[in-house]
């Protein structure tokens, strides 16, 4: 069993602040599915990305999605998918067959455009 740590991302000191809220942590068994939901304060016509950072390593972009369109890192597109729910303003990262090497801090983030 291994734990996937998550962080709460809050915009600070900005002209128009947005809020993205995630659970503090999620623990999954190897081979299981991973589901992380990000509650956002903005219209989901903006791009939202999922990014991860394994301990001691750099940031890795997983994918980005907005209504009707999505892009994924080639090496991760068979493992992860992103779902949007405009009515509840949630962006969900789904992972399948997660392994210990997927242990990381996972971030959701809004494209500033």
Separation of alpha carbons 79 and 100, rounded Å = 14
Each residue's pLDDT expressed in tens, for the chain with a length of 113 residues: 444 444 333 333 444 566 777 666 677 889 999 999 999 988 888 899 999 999 899 999 999 999 889 999 999 999 999 999 999 999 999 999 999 999 999 999 988 76
Task: Give the pLDDT confidence score for residue 46 in this predicted structure.
Answer: 86
Under 8 Å between Cβ of 34 and 4: yes
């Amino acid at each position: 069993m291994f734990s996937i740590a998550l962080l709460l991302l809050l915009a600070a000191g900005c002209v128009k602040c947005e809020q993205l809220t995630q659970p503090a942590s999620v623990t999954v068994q190897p081979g299981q599915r991973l589901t992380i939901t990000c509650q956002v304060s903005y219209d989901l016509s903006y791009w939202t990305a999922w990014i991860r950072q394994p301990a001691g390593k750099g940031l890795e972009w997983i994918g980005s999605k907005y209504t009707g369109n999505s892009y994924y890192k080639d090496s991760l597109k068979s493992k992860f998918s992103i779902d949007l729910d405009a009515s509840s303003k949630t962006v969900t990262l789904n992972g399948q067959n997660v392994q210990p090497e997927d242990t990381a801090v996972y971030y959701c983030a809004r494209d500033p455009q």
